Amino acid sequence: MDKLIDDEMLVAQFQAGRQNAFDELMKRYKSKIFSYLLRSVRNYEDAEDITIEVFFKAYRALENWQPKAKFSTWLYKIASNLAIDYHRAKARNPVYALDDAEIPEKHLVATDMHSDPVKQLEEKERGLIIREAVDQLSPKQKAVFMLSRYEGLQLKEVAETLDMAEGTVKIHLHRAVKRLQTLLRPLWENNDI
């Protein structure tokens, strides 16, 4: 399918009965949505399940979707809501504790046999501390931070995605950055980095 066809056009095609258009939309966004959810929930299987749920919900709602915002913003909105629900459920039920070891990491995928295992372990531990710091943000702070920092959304788009005023997004973002600075300060103050 022509890559130049924009998302909204594909949605229109889907609404006109062309099922392949939805396949193309999934192909375009499955990696982005999966990555976003993996960063957010930090559990490989849960991220996969929620990604499937995002497209399932999108498929069901797309028939009546009106292009008030970009399709991608709408898709992130579904993903964010599901991620927030996930974190709330996790907070209510600690059984859903995350296991960071399940997450595939670049340096684990491409393990260099000659590199120093102690250094590797230290790096892994540092990565874990940092990701745990991000986990300590409130669900909304985390969603704002993830969407603006890693998904490349403008603050206006983040606001649309999370149904917030742009000013509220900025407040959440400032709080997130301040919290991260407080939590991660020991890493550079102790010369651990």
Partner 1 sequence: MPKCKKSEGQAIDYAYKLLPSAEELPFKEHLKSCKDCTEAVESYTAALELTDEAQEELVVPEHALRDIEMNVYKRLAASQEQTTWLSRLSAYFTSVGSPFGWYKTAAVSSVAIALIVAAVLISKPPQPEQTLQVTEMQSAEARIEAYREQGIQWNLEEALITHHLRNDAWETESQLNRMKEQAQGTSWTKVADKQLQNLQSGILNRTQQNRIGEN
Residues that bind partner 1 (CB under 8 A): 19, 23, 26-27, 30-31, 34-35, 38-39, 44, 48, 51-53, 55-56, 59-60, 103-107, 109, 126-127, 130-131, 133-134, 149-150, 155, 170, 173-174, 177-178, 180-181, 184-185, 187-188, 193
Is 167 buried (19+), middle (13-18) or exposed (0-12) by CB count in 10 A? Answer: exposed
Least distance to partner 1, CB of residue 133, Å? 7
Instruction: Report residue 127 as tokens.
Output: 């990565």
Least distance to partner 1, CB of residue 28, Å? 12
DSSP label of 100: G
Q: SS3 for 18? A: coil
The candidate with the shortest Cα–Cα distance to 140, out of 54, 186, 80, is 80
- Considering the complex, state which of residue 95 and residue 112 has its C-beta at the smaller distance from partner 1: 112
Least distance to partner 1, CB of residue 94, Å? 23
Instruction: Report residue 97 as tokens.
Output: 């504790």
- Considering the complex, state which of residue 39 and residue 87 has its C-beta at the smaller distance from partner 1: 39
Least distance to partner 1, CB of residue 182, Å? 9
State the Cα angle at 103 between 102 and 107, rounded to 5°: 120
